[in-house]
Structure 1
Amino acid sequence: MAVGYGSALIVGAGSGLSASLARALSGEGVKLALAARSTADLAGLAQETGAVLFPCDASKPVDVEKLFADLDRGFGAPEIVVFNPSYRTRGPVAELDPAEVEKSLMVSAFGGFLVAQQAVRRMLPKGHGCIVFTGASASVKGYAQSAPFAMGKFALRGLAQSMARELHPKGVHVAHVIIDGGIKSERRAEPQGKSESLLDPDAIAATYLSVIRQPKSAWSHEVEVRPWVETF
Protein backbone atom coordinates (compact mmCIF):
# COMPACT_ATOMS: atom_id res chain seq x y z
CA MET A 1 0.00 0.00 0.00
CA ALA A 2 1.48 3.39 -1.00
CA VAL A 3 2.15 5.97 1.69
CA GLY A 4 -0.34 8.42 0.16
CA TYR A 5 2.02 11.39 0.26
CA GLY A 6 4.43 12.70 -2.36
CA SER A 7 7.09 14.56 -0.38
CA ALA A 8 8.78 14.40 3.00
CA LEU A 9 11.07 16.43 5.23
CA ILE A 10 13.20 14.77 7.89
CA VAL A 11 14.54 17.24 10.45
CA GLY A 12 17.55 16.17 12.49
CA ALA A 13 18.73 13.81 9.78
CA GLY A 14 21.74 11.63 10.46
CA SER A 15 23.23 8.20 9.88
CA GLY A 16 20.90 6.13 12.07
CA LEU A 17 17.11 6.03 12.13
CA SER A 18 16.85 9.05 9.82
CA ALA A 19 18.92 7.30 7.18
CA SER A 20 16.78 4.17 7.38
CA LEU A 21 13.64 6.26 7.13
CA ALA A 22 15.03 8.22 4.18
CA ARG A 23 15.76 4.98 2.32
CA ALA A 24 12.33 3.59 3.14
CA LEU A 25 10.52 6.72 1.95
CA SER A 26 12.69 6.96 -1.15
CA GLY A 27 11.81 3.35 -1.92
CA GLU A 28 8.15 4.39 -1.91
CA GLY A 29 8.85 7.08 -4.50
CA VAL A 30 8.59 9.94 -2.00
CA LYS A 31 10.56 13.12 -2.80
CA LEU A 32 12.91 13.86 0.12
CA ALA A 33 14.39 16.84 1.92
CA LEU A 34 16.85 16.33 4.78
CA ALA A 35 17.64 19.05 7.32
CA ALA A 36 20.36 19.08 9.97
CA ARG A 37 22.63 21.53 11.76
CA SER A 38 25.47 20.21 9.62
CA THR A 39 24.81 18.54 6.27
CA ALA A 40 28.44 17.62 5.53
CA ASP A 41 27.95 13.98 6.55
CA LEU A 42 24.71 13.58 4.57
CA ALA A 43 26.11 13.83 1.04
CA GLY A 44 26.23 10.07 0.53
CA LEU A 45 22.70 9.53 1.83
CA ALA A 46 21.44 12.38 -0.33
CA GLN A 47 23.01 10.86 -3.41
CA GLU A 48 21.57 7.44 -2.57
CA THR A 49 18.03 8.68 -1.95
CA GLY A 50 17.90 11.70 -4.26
CA ALA A 51 17.30 13.96 -1.26
CA VAL A 52 17.84 17.71 -1.15
CA LEU A 53 19.89 18.96 1.83
CA PHE A 54 19.14 22.00 3.98
CA PRO A 55 21.14 23.35 6.94
CA CYS A 56 18.94 24.12 9.93
CA ASP A 57 19.26 24.40 13.71
CA ALA A 58 15.74 23.39 14.70
CA SER A 59 15.96 25.20 18.03
CA LYS A 60 16.25 28.61 16.31
CA PRO A 61 13.07 30.26 14.95
CA VAL A 62 14.98 32.11 12.22
CA ASP A 63 16.57 28.87 10.95
CA VAL A 64 13.24 27.02 10.87
CA GLU A 65 11.46 29.88 9.11
CA LYS A 66 14.24 30.00 6.52
CA LEU A 67 14.11 26.23 6.04
CA PHE A 68 10.42 26.27 5.15
CA ALA A 69 10.76 29.41 3.03
CA ASP A 70 13.55 27.70 1.07
CA LEU A 71 11.36 24.62 0.67
CA ASP A 72 8.50 26.76 -0.61
CA ARG A 73 10.71 28.29 -3.30
CA GLY A 74 11.86 25.05 -4.87
CA PHE A 75 11.10 21.74 -3.20
CA GLY A 76 7.53 22.58 -2.23
CA ALA A 77 5.73 22.26 1.10
CA PRO A 78 6.41 18.74 2.47
CA GLU A 79 3.40 16.51 3.00
CA ILE A 80 5.24 14.39 5.59
CA VAL A 81 7.40 15.96 8.31
CA VAL A 82 9.44 13.84 10.71
CA PHE A 83 11.04 15.52 13.73
CA ASN A 84 14.06 13.63 15.12
CA PRO A 85 16.35 16.09 16.96
CA SER A 86 17.12 15.77 20.66
CA TYR A 87 19.89 16.83 23.01
CA ARG A 88 20.96 15.01 26.15
CA THR A 89 22.90 16.15 29.18
CA ARG A 90 23.27 14.00 32.28
CA GLY A 91 24.08 14.54 35.93
CA PRO A 92 22.64 14.98 39.43
CA VAL A 93 19.95 17.66 39.61
CA ALA A 94 21.98 19.68 42.09
CA GLU A 95 24.93 19.83 39.69
CA LEU A 96 23.32 20.32 36.28
CA ASP A 97 24.39 23.31 34.23
CA PRO A 98 21.25 25.42 33.62
CA ALA A 99 22.53 26.38 30.15
CA GLU A 100 22.77 22.70 29.20
CA VAL A 101 19.28 22.03 30.56
CA GLU A 102 17.94 24.96 28.53
CA LYS A 103 19.62 23.59 25.41
CA SER A 104 18.02 20.19 25.95
CA LEU A 105 14.58 21.77 26.17
CA MET A 106 15.17 24.05 23.20
CA VAL A 107 16.31 21.25 20.90
CA SER A 108 14.01 18.42 21.99
CA ALA A 109 10.77 20.33 22.63
CA PHE A 110 10.87 23.95 21.40
CA GLY A 111 12.39 22.80 18.11
CA GLY A 112 9.54 20.34 17.69
CA PHE A 113 7.05 23.17 18.13
CA LEU A 114 8.86 25.45 15.66
CA VAL A 115 9.01 22.79 12.94
CA ALA A 116 5.45 21.62 13.54
CA GLN A 117 4.07 25.16 13.44
CA GLN A 118 5.61 25.85 10.04
CA ALA A 119 4.45 22.47 8.72
CA VAL A 120 0.90 22.91 10.00
CA ARG A 121 0.57 26.35 8.41
CA ARG A 122 1.14 24.67 5.07
CA MET A 123 -0.88 21.50 5.69
CA LEU A 124 -4.08 23.03 7.12
CA PRO A 125 -5.21 24.85 3.95
CA LYS A 126 -5.02 21.51 2.11
CA GLY A 127 -6.50 19.42 4.93
CA HIS A 128 -3.75 16.90 4.24
CA GLY A 129 -0.43 15.97 5.80
CA CYS A 130 1.37 13.84 8.37
CA ILE A 131 3.71 14.92 11.18
CA VAL A 132 5.64 12.30 13.15
CA PHE A 133 7.61 13.08 16.32
CA THR A 134 10.37 10.73 17.49
CA GLY A 135 10.12 9.94 21.20
CA ALA A 136 12.19 7.78 23.53
CA SER A 137 11.95 5.78 26.75
CA ALA A 138 12.39 9.15 28.45
CA SER A 139 9.08 10.30 26.93
CA VAL A 140 7.27 8.27 29.61
CA LYS A 141 9.98 7.41 32.18
CA GLY A 142 12.18 9.99 33.88
CA TYR A 143 15.42 8.21 34.73
CA ALA A 144 17.76 9.25 37.55
CA GLN A 145 20.40 11.80 36.50
CA SER A 146 18.64 12.30 33.17
CA ALA A 147 16.11 15.00 34.07
CA PRO A 148 16.82 17.34 31.13
CA PHE A 149 16.25 14.63 28.52
CA ALA A 150 13.03 13.54 30.24
CA MET A 151 11.85 17.16 30.46
CA GLY A 152 12.38 17.66 26.73
CA LYS A 153 10.84 14.36 25.68
CA PHE A 154 7.85 14.67 28.04
CA ALA A 155 7.20 18.11 26.54
CA LEU A 156 7.46 16.81 22.99
CA ARG A 157 4.96 14.08 23.81
CA GLY A 158 2.57 16.68 25.23
CA LEU A 159 2.93 18.73 22.07
CA ALA A 160 2.12 15.69 19.93
CA GLN A 161 -0.96 14.81 21.99
CA SER A 162 -2.31 18.36 21.89
CA MET A 163 -1.69 18.67 18.15
CA ALA A 164 -3.33 15.31 17.41
CA ARG A 165 -6.51 16.32 19.22
CA GLU A 166 -6.60 19.67 17.44
CA LEU A 167 -5.55 18.61 13.95
CA HIS A 168 -6.90 15.10 13.33
CA PRO A 169 -10.43 16.46 12.74
CA LYS A 170 -8.89 18.88 10.21
CA GLY A 171 -7.22 16.18 8.11
CA VAL A 172 -3.66 16.42 9.46
CA HIS A 173 -2.31 13.21 11.00
CA VAL A 174 -0.02 13.72 14.02
CA ALA A 175 1.77 10.78 15.62
CA HIS A 176 4.38 10.23 18.33
CA VAL A 177 6.62 7.14 18.21
CA ILE A 178 8.16 6.01 21.51
CA ILE A 179 11.43 4.22 20.84
CA ASP A 180 11.80 2.27 24.07
CA GLY A 181 15.31 0.88 23.85
CA GLY A 182 18.70 1.39 22.27
CA ILE A 183 19.09 1.57 18.50
CA LYS A 184 21.69 -0.61 16.79
CA SER A 185 24.32 1.22 14.77
CA GLU A 186 27.93 0.98 13.64
CA ARG A 187 28.91 2.74 16.85
CA ARG A 188 26.57 0.71 19.05
CA ALA A 189 26.80 -3.03 18.57
CA GLU A 190 24.76 -5.57 20.48
CA PRO A 191 26.55 -7.01 23.54
CA GLN A 192 27.92 -10.51 23.14
CA GLY A 193 25.29 -13.09 24.01
CA LYS A 194 22.45 -10.58 23.73
CA SER A 195 21.34 -10.85 20.14
CA GLU A 196 18.31 -8.75 19.13
CA SER A 197 18.65 -6.66 22.30
CA LEU A 198 18.78 -3.43 20.30
CA LEU A 199 16.23 -2.03 17.85
CA ASP A 200 17.05 -2.37 14.17
CA PRO A 201 16.68 1.10 12.58
CA ASP A 202 15.22 -0.41 9.42
CA ALA A 203 12.53 -2.11 11.52
CA ILE A 204 11.72 1.19 13.23
CA ALA A 205 11.47 2.87 9.82
CA ALA A 206 9.00 0.19 8.76
CA THR A 207 6.83 1.12 11.75
CA TYR A 208 6.96 4.78 10.75
CA LEU A 209 5.80 3.86 7.26
CA SER A 210 2.97 1.79 8.73
CA VAL A 211 1.79 4.78 10.78
CA ILE A 212 2.10 7.15 7.81
CA ARG A 213 0.04 4.74 5.66
CA GLN A 214 -2.86 4.54 8.13
CA PRO A 215 -6.25 5.43 6.66
CA LYS A 216 -8.18 8.24 8.34
CA SER A 217 -10.66 5.79 9.82
CA ALA A 218 -7.92 4.25 12.00
CA TRP A 219 -5.25 6.86 12.82
CA SER A 220 -2.87 6.29 15.72
CA HIS A 221 -1.52 9.24 17.68
CA GLU A 222 1.08 7.16 19.56
CA VAL A 223 2.95 3.92 18.92
CA GLU A 224 5.63 2.16 21.00
CA VAL A 225 8.46 0.01 19.64
CA ARG A 226 10.95 -2.01 21.66
CA PRO A 227 13.06 -5.16 21.28
CA TRP A 228 11.17 -8.28 22.29
CA VAL A 229 13.65 -8.89 25.14
CA GLU A 230 13.34 -5.35 26.56
CA THR A 231 11.60 -5.08 29.93
CA PHE A 232 9.00 -2.38 30.45
Structure 2
Amino acid sequence: MSIVKETHASDRPKAVVIGVGPEQGLGAGLSRRFAAEGRHVVIAGRTEAKIERVRESIVEAGGSASTVVMDVTNEADVIRLFDVAMQADEHGGSADLIAYNAGNNQPLDLRTMEADVFESFWRLNCFGGFLVGREAARRFVPLGRGSILFSGATGALRGLPNFAHFASSKAGLRMLAQSMAREFGPLGLHVAHVVIDGGIDGERVHTRFTEHVERKGLDGLLDIDAIADAFWSLHRQHRSAWTHELDLRPFKEAF
Protein backbone atom coordinates (compact mmCIF):
# COMPACT_ATOMS: atom_id res chain seq x y z
CA MET A 1 0.00 0.00 0.00
CA SER A 2 1.42 3.37 -0.98
CA ILE A 3 1.53 6.10 1.64
CA VAL A 4 0.35 9.66 1.08
CA LYS A 5 1.89 12.12 3.53
CA GLU A 6 0.56 15.56 4.39
CA THR A 7 2.86 18.54 3.92
CA HIS A 8 2.78 19.98 7.44
CA ALA A 9 3.20 17.41 10.22
CA SER A 10 2.09 19.89 12.86
CA ASP A 11 -1.36 20.05 11.24
CA ARG A 12 -1.73 16.28 11.11
CA PRO A 13 -3.67 14.49 13.89
CA LYS A 14 -2.21 11.22 15.11
CA ALA A 15 -3.94 7.85 15.05
CA VAL A 16 -3.37 5.17 17.69
CA VAL A 17 -3.73 1.43 17.10
CA ILE A 18 -3.69 -0.73 20.24
CA GLY A 19 -3.16 -4.46 20.01
CA VAL A 20 -0.74 -4.69 17.08
CA GLY A 21 0.96 -8.02 16.49
CA PRO A 22 2.27 -9.67 13.32
CA GLU A 23 2.59 -7.86 9.98
CA GLN A 24 -0.21 -10.00 8.58
CA GLY A 25 -2.69 -9.10 11.28
CA LEU A 26 -5.56 -6.65 11.72
CA GLY A 27 -3.63 -4.31 14.00
CA ALA A 28 -0.90 -3.93 11.40
CA GLY A 29 -3.50 -3.50 8.67
CA LEU A 30 -5.21 -0.70 10.57
CA SER A 31 -1.85 0.98 11.16
CA ARG A 32 -1.01 0.87 7.45
CA ARG A 33 -4.46 2.17 6.48
CA PHE A 34 -4.31 5.16 8.81
CA ALA A 35 -0.76 5.93 7.67
CA ALA A 36 -1.95 5.83 4.06
CA GLU A 37 -4.28 8.70 4.95
CA GLY A 38 -1.34 10.81 6.04
CA ARG A 39 -1.60 10.13 9.76
CA HIS A 40 1.34 9.59 12.07
CA VAL A 41 0.42 6.26 13.64
CA VAL A 42 1.30 5.33 17.20
CA ILE A 43 1.60 1.54 17.11
CA ALA A 44 1.02 -0.08 20.50
CA GLY A 45 1.54 -3.71 21.45
CA ARG A 46 3.18 -6.11 23.85
CA THR A 47 5.99 -7.43 21.65
CA GLU A 48 8.63 -4.90 20.65
CA ALA A 49 9.97 -6.88 17.69
CA LYS A 50 6.52 -7.23 16.12
CA ILE A 51 5.42 -3.63 16.42
CA GLU A 52 8.84 -2.40 15.29
CA ARG A 53 8.54 -4.46 12.11
CA VAL A 54 5.12 -2.92 11.41
CA ARG A 55 6.60 0.54 11.96
CA GLU A 56 9.47 -0.24 9.57
CA SER A 57 7.06 -1.39 6.87
CA ILE A 58 5.11 1.88 7.14
CA VAL A 59 8.23 4.01 7.02
CA GLU A 60 9.56 2.00 4.06
CA ALA A 61 6.33 2.83 2.23
CA GLY A 62 6.81 6.55 2.93
CA GLY A 63 4.61 6.89 5.98
CA SER A 64 5.15 8.03 9.55
CA ALA A 65 4.87 5.84 12.63
CA SER A 66 6.28 5.27 16.10
CA THR A 67 5.91 2.46 18.63
CA VAL A 68 4.95 2.10 22.28
CA VAL A 69 5.47 -1.21 24.08
CA MET A 70 2.63 -1.58 26.57
CA ASP A 71 0.18 -3.85 28.34
CA VAL A 72 -3.41 -2.71 27.83
CA THR A 73 -4.44 -4.22 31.16
CA ASN A 74 -1.96 -2.01 33.01
CA GLU A 75 -3.46 1.37 33.90
CA ALA A 76 -0.12 3.18 34.04
CA ASP A 77 0.83 1.88 30.60
CA VAL A 78 -2.43 3.12 29.08
CA ILE A 79 -2.01 6.58 30.62
CA ARG A 80 1.57 6.71 29.35
CA LEU A 81 0.41 5.79 25.85
CA PHE A 82 -2.10 8.65 25.79
CA ASP A 83 0.46 11.07 27.13
CA VAL A 84 2.52 10.26 24.02
CA ALA A 85 -0.43 10.26 21.61
CA MET A 86 -1.92 13.55 22.76
CA GLN A 87 1.33 15.51 22.82
CA ALA A 88 1.88 17.69 19.74
CA ASP A 89 5.41 17.09 18.44
CA GLU A 90 7.42 16.82 15.24
CA HIS A 91 5.24 13.92 14.12
CA GLY A 92 1.92 15.73 14.35
CA GLY A 93 -0.76 17.12 16.61
CA SER A 94 -2.80 15.31 19.23
CA ALA A 95 -4.56 12.05 18.34
CA ASP A 96 -8.22 12.07 17.33
CA LEU A 97 -8.54 8.39 16.35
CA ILE A 98 -8.13 5.36 18.61
CA ALA A 99 -8.58 1.75 17.49
CA TYR A 100 -8.74 -0.86 20.25
CA ASN A 101 -7.80 -4.18 18.66
CA ALA A 102 -6.38 -6.09 21.64
CA GLY A 103 -7.87 -9.52 22.27
CA ASN A 104 -7.35 -13.25 22.50
CA ASN A 105 -9.42 -16.33 21.79
CA GLN A 106 -9.22 -20.11 22.07
CA PRO A 107 -11.70 -22.88 22.88
CA LEU A 108 -11.62 -24.06 26.51
CA ASP A 109 -13.70 -26.49 28.56
CA LEU A 110 -15.47 -24.51 31.28
CA ARG A 111 -15.32 -27.47 33.68
CA THR A 112 -11.53 -27.54 33.78
CA MET A 113 -10.88 -23.82 33.36
CA GLU A 114 -8.87 -22.18 36.14
CA ALA A 115 -10.30 -18.96 37.54
CA ASP A 116 -7.22 -16.94 36.60
CA VAL A 117 -7.55 -18.09 32.98
CA PHE A 118 -11.12 -16.81 32.80
CA GLU A 119 -10.03 -13.55 34.38
CA SER A 120 -7.11 -13.14 31.96
CA PHE A 121 -9.47 -13.25 28.96
CA TRP A 122 -11.76 -10.69 30.60
CA ARG A 123 -8.84 -8.41 31.42
CA LEU A 124 -7.58 -8.36 27.84
CA ASN A 125 -10.87 -8.45 25.93
CA CYS A 126 -12.90 -6.15 28.19
CA PHE A 127 -11.00 -4.47 31.04
CA GLY A 128 -8.30 -3.18 28.67
CA GLY A 129 -11.07 -1.65 26.56
CA PHE A 130 -12.38 0.14 29.65
CA LEU A 131 -8.94 1.58 30.46
CA VAL A 132 -8.43 2.76 26.87
CA GLY A 133 -12.00 4.03 26.50
CA ARG A 134 -11.88 5.94 29.75
CA GLU A 135 -8.55 7.57 28.95
CA ALA A 136 -9.67 8.44 25.42
CA ALA A 137 -12.85 10.05 26.78
CA ARG A 138 -10.85 12.07 29.28
CA ARG A 139 -8.59 13.42 26.54
CA PHE A 140 -11.16 13.82 23.72
CA VAL A 141 -14.11 15.40 25.55
CA PRO A 142 -12.31 18.73 26.11
CA LEU A 143 -11.57 18.79 22.37
CA GLY A 144 -15.17 18.02 21.44
CA ARG A 145 -14.12 15.47 18.82
CA GLY A 146 -12.47 12.10 18.28
CA SER A 147 -13.23 8.52 17.25
CA ILE A 148 -12.93 5.51 19.55
CA LEU A 149 -13.29 2.28 17.58
CA PHE A 150 -13.45 -1.19 19.16
CA SER A 151 -12.77 -4.49 17.39
CA GLY A 152 -15.60 -6.86 18.27
CA ALA A 153 -16.32 -10.49 17.46
CA THR A 154 -19.09 -13.01 16.87
CA GLY A 155 -18.84 -13.91 20.55
CA ALA A 156 -20.10 -10.45 21.48
CA LEU A 157 -23.49 -11.45 20.04
CA ARG A 158 -23.77 -15.13 20.93
CA GLY A 159 -21.88 -17.57 23.11
CA LEU A 160 -20.82 -20.88 21.59
CA PRO A 161 -19.83 -24.11 23.39
CA ASN A 162 -16.29 -23.92 24.83
CA PHE A 163 -16.19 -20.14 24.43
CA ALA A 164 -17.92 -18.88 27.60
CA HIS A 165 -14.78 -17.04 28.70
CA PHE A 166 -14.41 -15.35 25.31
CA ALA A 167 -18.07 -14.55 24.67
CA SER A 168 -18.64 -13.03 28.11
CA SER A 169 -15.59 -10.79 27.79
CA LYS A 170 -16.39 -9.62 24.25
CA ALA A 171 -20.04 -9.03 25.16
CA GLY A 172 -18.76 -6.89 28.01
CA LEU A 173 -16.68 -4.87 25.56
CA ARG A 174 -19.75 -4.41 23.37
CA MET A 175 -21.79 -3.08 26.28
CA LEU A 176 -18.94 -0.77 27.24
CA ALA A 177 -18.97 0.64 23.70
CA GLN A 178 -22.75 1.09 23.75
CA SER A 179 -22.70 2.96 27.03
CA MET A 180 -19.79 5.13 25.94
CA ALA A 181 -21.53 6.00 22.67
CA ARG A 182 -24.62 7.19 24.54
CA GLU A 183 -22.63 9.10 27.14
CA PHE A 184 -20.06 10.76 24.89
CA GLY A 185 -21.75 10.96 21.49
CA PRO A 186 -23.57 14.18 22.45
CA LEU A 187 -20.18 15.58 23.48
CA GLY A 188 -18.73 15.04 20.01
CA LEU A 189 -17.06 11.63 20.38
CA HIS A 190 -17.80 8.91 17.83
CA VAL A 191 -17.73 5.53 19.59
CA ALA A 192 -18.21 2.52 17.34
CA HIS A 193 -18.07 -1.26 17.77
CA VAL A 194 -17.11 -3.40 14.76
CA VAL A 195 -18.37 -7.00 14.89
CA ILE A 196 -15.88 -9.10 12.94
CA ASP A 197 -18.05 -12.14 12.23
CA GLY A 198 -15.66 -14.67 10.71
CA GLY A 199 -12.02 -15.60 10.41
CA ILE A 200 -9.52 -12.90 9.49
CA ASP A 201 -7.23 -13.71 6.58
CA GLY A 202 -4.01 -13.20 8.54
CA GLU A 203 -1.08 -15.00 10.07
CA ARG A 204 -2.93 -16.38 13.09
CA VAL A 205 -5.63 -18.29 11.23
CA HIS A 206 -3.20 -19.56 8.59
CA THR A 207 -0.81 -20.97 11.20
CA ARG A 208 -3.36 -22.30 13.70
CA PHE A 209 -6.37 -23.30 11.62
CA THR A 210 -5.14 -24.46 8.21
CA GLU A 211 -8.08 -26.81 7.67
CA HIS A 212 -10.50 -23.98 8.37
CA VAL A 213 -8.79 -21.81 5.74
CA GLU A 214 -9.02 -24.59 3.13
CA ARG A 215 -12.66 -25.26 3.96
CA LYS A 216 -13.67 -21.59 3.60
CA GLY A 217 -12.11 -21.26 0.13
CA LEU A 218 -11.74 -18.10 -1.95
CA ASP A 219 -12.81 -14.95 -0.08
CA GLY A 220 -14.12 -17.09 2.77
CA LEU A 221 -12.07 -15.12 5.27
CA LEU A 222 -12.22 -11.39 5.95
CA ASP A 223 -9.59 -9.45 4.03
CA ILE A 224 -7.51 -7.31 6.39
CA ASP A 225 -7.37 -4.29 4.08
CA ALA A 226 -11.15 -4.44 3.61
CA ILE A 227 -11.69 -4.41 7.38
CA ALA A 228 -9.29 -1.48 7.71
CA ASP A 229 -11.24 0.41 5.02
CA ALA A 230 -14.37 0.01 7.15
CA PHE A 231 -12.62 1.39 10.23
CA TRP A 232 -11.41 4.44 8.32
CA SER A 233 -14.87 4.97 6.87
CA LEU A 234 -16.33 5.04 10.39
CA HIS A 235 -13.85 7.71 11.41
CA ARG A 236 -14.72 9.81 8.36
CA GLN A 237 -18.51 9.74 8.89
CA HIS A 238 -20.34 13.03 9.30
CA ARG A 239 -21.68 13.41 12.82
CA SER A 240 -25.24 13.76 11.53
CA ALA A 241 -25.12 10.12 10.38
CA TRP A 242 -22.86 8.15 12.71
CA THR A 243 -22.80 4.36 12.75
CA HIS A 244 -22.41 2.88 16.20
CA GLU A 245 -22.25 -0.83 15.36
CA LEU A 246 -21.05 -2.31 12.08
CA ASP A 247 -20.93 -6.02 11.38
CA LEU A 248 -18.51 -7.42 8.81
CA ARG A 249 -18.44 -10.96 7.46
CA PRO A 250 -17.46 -12.87 4.29
CA PHE A 251 -20.21 -13.22 1.72
CA LYS A 252 -20.42 -16.97 2.32
CA GLU A 253 -20.44 -16.80 6.15
CA ALA A 254 -23.62 -18.13 7.79
CA PHE A 255 -25.28 -15.82 10.31
TM-score range, shorter chain: over 0.9
Aligned mates of 1:71, 1:211 — CA distance in 2: 20
If the length of structure 2 is used for normalisation, what is the TM-score? 0.85
Give the SS at the match of 1:51. strand
Q: How does 1:34-45 map to 2 (within 5 A)?
A: 34-45=43-54
Q: Which runs of 5+ in 1 are unaligned?
A: none
Give the SS at the match of 1:52. strand
**Cα distance, 1:159 vs. partner?**
0.3
Contact (CA 8 Å) 1:68, 1:77: kept in 2 or not?
A: no
**Cα distance, 1:44 vs. partner?**
2.5
**Cα distance, 1:63 vs. partner?**
1.5
**Cα distance, 1:8 vs. partner?**
0.6
Structure-2 residue corresponding to 1:213 = 236
Structure-1 residue corresponding to 2:133 = 116
Q: Which runs of 5+ in 2 are unaligned?
A: 1-11, 59-63, 207-212
Identity %: 38
Aligned mates of 2:109, 2:69 — CA distance in 1: 34
Compared with structure 1, are the counterparts of its residues 225 and 103 closer, same or farther at alpha carbon in structure 2 (3 Å cutoff)?
same
Give the SS at the match of 2:254. coil
Aligned: 1:70 with 2:110: no
2:146 to 129, 132, 142: 129
Contact (CA 8 Å) 1:78, 1:119: kept in 2 or not?
A: no
Contact (CA 8 Å) 1:90, 1:96: kept in 2 or not?
A: no
Aligned mates of 2:198, 2:79 — CA distance in 1: 33
If the length of structure 1 is used for normalisation, what is the TM-score? 0.93
Q: How does 1:72-221 map to 2 (within 5 A)?
A: 72-73=86-87, 77-189=94-206, 190-191=213-214, 194-221=217-244
Give the SS at the match of 1:191. helix
The one-letter code matched in structure 2 to 1:143 is L
Aligned mates of 1:120, 1:93 — CA distance in 2: 35
Aligned mates of 2:117, 2:240 — CA distance in 1: 42
Aligned: 1:11 with 2:18: yes
Aligned mates of 2:216, 2:241 — CA distance in 1: 39
Kindly report the root-mean-square deviation, in angstroms, between the aligned alpha carbons of the 2 structures: 1.6
